[in-house]
Amino acid sequence: MQNMKIGIVCFPTYGGSGAVATELGIELASLGHKVHFISYELPFRLQHFHENIFFHEVNVSDYPLFEYPPYESVLASKIVDVAIYEELDLLHVHYAIPHASVAWMAQQILLSKKIRLPYITTLHGTDITLVGRDRSFEPIIRFSLNKSNAITTVSESLKRETLEAFKIDNKIHVIPNFIDTREYDRKHTRCIKSSLGIPNVPVLVHISNFRKVKRIDDVIKIFLHVRKEIPCKIILAGDGPERAMAEAMARNSEYRKDIIFLGHVPNPKELLCMADIFLLPSQTESFGLSALEALSMGVPVISSNRGGLPELNLHGKTGFLHKPGEVEQMAESVLYILNNKNTLQKFRDNARKQALKFDKNKIIPLYITLYKEIISQNKSKK
């Protein structure tokens, strides 16, 4: 099959799904495929000019008549436009809500013009959590998933959860998150702890969008337990709704000088290269891309044991897993690793070895194979 023309719809802001969608697009483009990103903003990881990558902005005007901007309708029209004029072979949407239902709408409009555009939906987790909280989303998610030409989830755990939450007739393909292990390599990253005024003490790192699901209060609690035992620092990167609460916790503590809030960092590896431990005590993670980034940089991970995390973080090898909220146990695991240089080195080596299993060169071909299968099925229907 010749080079493909792929449309990618994703949320552009900070977050794992946008990162996965963008890195996938960049890799496909580097292999010669034409990639058309369709989103309301330039995806945050699309910082440079790339050959074969095109961006189509979904511009929702503020009509005084509407209380809610008609984002879905504008997106559907944009997909139709791009599909016709760029002759897309396939559309890949990230998130069922609202992208899968919009993809179906666009597909129907195109069909009325005798154009068949297959779409693949990748689930990243929050759709399923959302439905757990609000069943009113169930009909639209179930419908748009069953109408997808293929569904992928980022872990076995998310596949199980999806099948439990919805009656799905389609096959679900598990394609985990991936990483460029050559880029995320401690050996090739110039790292200067002193640039953050950090003396030679262990550094704990947490990176997220500070949503409630990340349990940022637990991150601070774990650190305070560890800090009582040994001198160390923690760097928290990212921003979001829980940041003010976390800052208040830090400011009220006697160790406030050891807790650094950095805000958004454009390139996590520049921070992870300073880290001795990565903390991810989330209530759940469908995969945990930030933990994979840490492992690839040779940083052991102390995480919760929910969602897809046990598929990535190996208990007693690449880090430790505990139930959400078990902050003392998590702190003990941090101390166990930090208290002995050889133990830390062993965990670092295991972390790197585990990350290599998720290298982009192993995972991206899984998407390409699926794309080709769906495109050729679509062509045979014509």
Residues near ligand GMT, by CB under 6 A: 15-18, 20, 124-126, 154, 177, 209, 211, 213, 284-289, 307
Nearest approach in angstroms of CB 128 to ligand GMT is 9
Of 127 and 258, nearer to ligand GMT (C-beta) is 127
Give the three-class secondary structure for 210: coil
Closest CB to ligand GMT among 177 and 350? 177
Q: How far is the CB of 226 from ligand GMT (least distance, A)?
A: 24
Nearest distance in Å: CB 284, ligand GMT: 6
- The answer to whether 96 and 123 have CB atoms below 8 angstroms apart is yes
- Please say which residue, 43 or 202, places its beta carbon nearer to ligand GMT: 43
Nearer to ligand GMT, 126 or 333 (CB): 126
Nearest to residue 205, comparing CAs of 312, 72, 295, 86?
295
Reduced to 3 states (helix: H, G, I; strand: E, B; else coil), residue 302 is strand
Q: Which of 112, 71, 118 is nearest to 91 (CA)?
A: 118
Phi, psi of 377 (to 5 degrees): -60, -40
- Give me the residue whose beta carbon is nearest to ligand GMT: 16
- 3-state secondary structure at position 33: coil
Residue that the structure tokens 């977050």 belong to? 15
- Closer Cβ to ligand GMT, 88 or 179, answer by number: 179
Q: Distance between CA atoms of 89 and 366, rounded to whole angstroms?
A: 17
Task: Give the nearest distance from C-beta 53 to ligand GMT in angstroms.
Answer: 20
**At its nearest, how many Å lie between ligand GMT and the CB of residue 382?**
33
- For ligand GMT, the closer of residues 107 and 126 by Cβ is 126
Q: What residues contact 61, with CB distance under 8 A and at least 6 apart? A: 69
238: Cβ–Cβ under 8 A, 6 or more apart, which residues? Answer: 14, 206, 207, 208, 209, 210, 263, 264, 265
Task: Tell me the closest approach of the beta carbon of residue 2 to ligand GMT, in angstroms.
Answer: 29
